[in-house]
Structure 1
């Protein structure tokens, strides 16, 4: 009888370990499956007929503005207007103490009267010397002296008249009048204050508010486009060939009266590549005040084949250029740079870079990159609202 085969514990352990190792090597790890294409919502670009507007920010400027300053020195005796009221051109606003100017005027009149009296004597003497000179009763020197005295007397009359005019002007300047019609602001100096001729500070400011200007900064390239549209008749003009303009106030309300484009600056700002365009608006209720921030809108007619993309579909590169992500025929993402114009509601008007029928990613563009495979679905306004709530 054969003796049983005995295995030592270390040998058994080594055999089990080898078996487990070989079994593990025979089993390969299952490969991980590739992630499914990212779902995105796309808008198929189609032409639309839209009313084209150019909306530009601007500031209100006064039609006329006058700084009221004294022309003569003296003490203010009266203020003859109500602050914030309307005044007319030539209306007296202040009275400066006229006493010294009245005295100067009276003195100048006295000097004029004296000069006239002296002229009478000198001219009479010259008339007497005329026949005497012919008869050789007076010398030629005496006649010449009489002639010079007469002419000097006439010159003194002219000098005295000039002094009277100067004195009268200074006396008239003690009545400080409004140079223009408009609305006057607060008074800077009060009664009893000493004012000086040629001072740089104002007594008050009168501003003409009706009509009133709106100054806007328009890109130079847009100004060229607008001029071409006016020339082609795309922009409808007023009977006087001016371009109509509407206005939106800072609180979002529309200004009732329409205005018209009146002036454009002759130079382009090199720093901003813009030009100042001025429109004029009627302002009978004085609702528009200088310094107000407004938006002026120019009606550019109808674009029958405008391409629109939602605002959320447009991003910008590091240079600030607008761009969109497209889905091509192979459902792969492409990056496309575009040129956009004015806003149309919540959409950009695309000037160039897109064609009809191309698919623009609107929802999900943050999760994809150029070259990625995607699963496109049609974009709807409801999905845009839901995306905005997330």
Structure 2
């Protein structure tokens, strides 16, 4: 009996210890849970970010158009008579002056033609003299009625024929002289010689497909570029003046960007607008002239014409306040409750470090200026107005 009591007493003690541990564990859980709820109820402070109020302002933008460059004179040098190319006086790329000798074609055949023409002229002059002598001889004889006037009339007719023969001979001499002069080819203008496909001794002719060379006068160069119909309409509306000629006179200087994207040192001016649109491309050609005192530009160069466009009242947004996602540009706008919204915008151009915005935001809207890289949609921020700081800058 005492043994059973002893076992019962031990079981009660064991149960008591188990219950004690369970109660302690429950209390620990309760305390931890309460502590967790307390920490969870403490909200993180709103991030402090710079906020800019955007507004309309004047701006200048630039737009570029591909351009091809030519010298003010860009001509082919071709032979005007046939023959062997006897001498070449210049080298490829050489600068030549107007009247300088370039090529010499064998002149011997043309020298002989000229000599023959001179001989024919001299013979015609002798025939004229002979006809005049016959007239002088017959005139007194006819007056004294020694011979009939028929012979005198015949002599006068021969004299007229001799005069005509002389005129014809003179024309042949002049033509032979011209052809002889064509054997020496000189520079019609000052400029740079191009490639020389024909070598000394080659047979050249007036019907050759390929010229002897090209000569470019590049003390000034023309840069030709094209505007689409829409661009041309904007171009006309951008500048004052009634006619195209008036507008051209008031155009500001233009810049030429070379193939390496660097700006050419000299500024140019637009001085020509084509008379009609190209029906195949729907574009119209304009020409800008640039001085080229050092000869840095050559015919065949390419580049881009950069036009400056003035905008009187446009909405500007700093580029650094935007982010690009999948070819779309966004800003974080700030609402009245300081909650941010990711807003897409339509960019119509660039001016310095600013975007010109056409749609998406309006003047007076507030945007997050910077520090939005990890910002989430709907986040409440503590704005720091930086409008005054930007105005000072």
Equivalent position of 1:275 in the other structure? 284
SS of 1:291's partner is coil
Equivalent position of 2:129 in the other structure? 120
Q: Comparing 322-331 with 76-85, which one deviates more in the overlay?
A: 322-331
Equivalent position of 2:238 in the other structure? 229
Matches within 5 A, 1:169-208: 169-208=178-217
Distance in structure 1 (CA, Å) of the matches to 2:67 and 2:176: 48
Residue 87, structure 1, aligned to residue 112, structure 2: no
Equivalent position of 1:78 in the other structure? 87
Is the 2:335–2:366 contact (alpha carbons within 8 Å) kept by the matching residues of 1? Answer: no
Distance in structure 1 (CA, Å) of the matches to 2:54 and 2:224: 36
Render the CA deviation track for 1:136-193: whole Å, top value 9, x for unaligned: 4333432221121000000110111111111111111110112221000231111111
SS of 2:90's partner is coil
Summarize the Cα distance change of 1:346–1:140 in structure 2 as closer, same or farther, 3 Å threshold: same
Render the CA deviation track for 1:122-143: whole Å, top value 9, x for unaligned: 1222233334334443334322
Shift of 1:342: 3.6
Matches within 5 A, 1:1-390: 46-231=55-240, 241=250, 243-301=252-310, 303-308=312-317, 341-345=348-352, 348-350=355-357, 355-357=362-364, 375=378
Render the CA deviation track for 1:226-252: whole Å, top value 9, x for unaligned: 33433169xxx9996453111222212
SS of 1:111's partner is helix
Unaligned runs of 5+ in 2: 1-50, 371-376, 384-393
SS of 2:216's partner is strand
Moved over 6 A (4+): 237-240, 322-337, 359-363
Summarize the Cα distance change of 1:120–1:45 in structure 2 as closer, same or farther, 3 Å threshold: same
Shift of 1:271: 4.7
Is the 1:47–1:308 contact (alpha carbons within 8 Å) kept by the matching residues of 2? Answer: no
Distance in structure 2 (CA, Å) of the matches to 1:360 and 1:217: 39
Render the CA deviation track for 1:85-110: whole Å, top value 9, x for unaligned: 10112211111111111111111111
Equivalent position of 1:38 in the other structure? none
The number of aligned residues is 321
Shift of 1:296: 1.7
Distance in structure 2 (CA, Å) of the matches to 1:314 and 1:246: 33
Render the CA deviation track for 1:304-359: whole Å, top value 9, x for unaligned: 5444585866988xxxxx99899898999999996x64433565434578642468
Distance in structure 1 (CA, Å) of the matches to 2:281 and 2:57: 32
Distance in structure 2 (CA, Å) of the matches to 1:291 and 1:75: 30
SS of 2:222's partner is strand
Summarize the Cα distance change of 1:49–1:284 in structure 2 as closer, same or farther, 3 Å threshold: same
Distance in structure 2 (CA, Å) of the matches to 1:46 and 1:104: 84
Shift of 1:78: 1.1
Render the CA deviation track for 1:36-94: whole Å, top value 9, x for unaligned: xxxxxx99753233223333232222221121111111111111112211011221111
With structure 1 as the length reference, what TM-score do the two structures score? 0.69
Unaligned runs of 5+ in 1: 1-41, 317-321, 364-373, 381-390
Summarize the Cα distance change of 1:150–1:79 in structure 2 as closer, same or farther, 3 Å threshold: same
Shift of 1:119: 0.2
Q: Comparing 194-203 with 323-332, which one deviates more in the overlay?
A: 323-332
Summarize the Cα distance change of 1:162–1:304 in structure 2 as closer, same or farther, 3 Å threshold: same
SS of 2:275's partner is coil
With structure 2 as the length reference, what TM-score do the two structures score? 0.69
Is the 2:88–2:104 contact (alpha carbons within 8 Å) kept by the matching residues of 1? Answer: yes
